[in-house]
Structure 1
């Protein structure tokens, strides 16, 4: 399903707000409603070394509603990724600064920098890219862990050599 590019002129009163806690479901999804929350979440992600998946969305957008169950499922599966939803109507100026032209638009961020962008409600592509990001995060953590272990072993070897020099 394609993206929403403009807000309808009327909003159905009987349409459920898809940003409600019951609709979001997963505790790993945070609704960002102000800039303080945005900064807090990015800072938390940076400190934890997490990738952030941001969903710029609108409650009136049918493709946004259609992709939400997949987004929820991904949040439950990939707990190493932080999942955020930004309501483009609540944070219109902020959304514009990210050049959001259609909803949903997804950004993958690491250390506040864009890694990838997906426009539209392509569920399979969202799943694929999230899986790739999660695996890259796991691989980079493995590399850091191996590097730290090798560095530690190297220091141990150097210390042993130094002790042997003193005994000869």
Structure 2
């Protein structure tokens, strides 16, 4: 977790320096990203909040993800991650939205292999997603997804 806390510390510092706020929408990480950000002193000045959207109904009803997209692509999809990020950015009024979705295992989900992870990022400039293939057990994959989300947040804060 030390590396995660280091990434979170950098993200909090960069957000505070730039006067930007962040919100998270998390499926497979179930709140880990926002929790690690909140472990960092100063987080209250940049973290708007987070939504744990484990179920598709939450992705649709709270984050505004298209039910047609979910039906066509499944929940583990890059466009879904981007839509989650945009949805949480709008819902919580933040400058940046970061989202996680993926398969932590032990079985594949929606035809996607264990370790498949998508990180969505939404800013005023638009949304994008990044795909990853991690390995390890459930906890390790979730930890790697959290790290990837923090890295993508840092990149968005640096652009």
Structure number, greater radius of gyration: 1
- TM-score in same-fold range (> 0.5): no
**Higher RCO, Cα 8 Å, sep 6+:** 1
TM-score with structure 2 setting the length:
0.34
- TM normalised by structure 1 equals 0.32
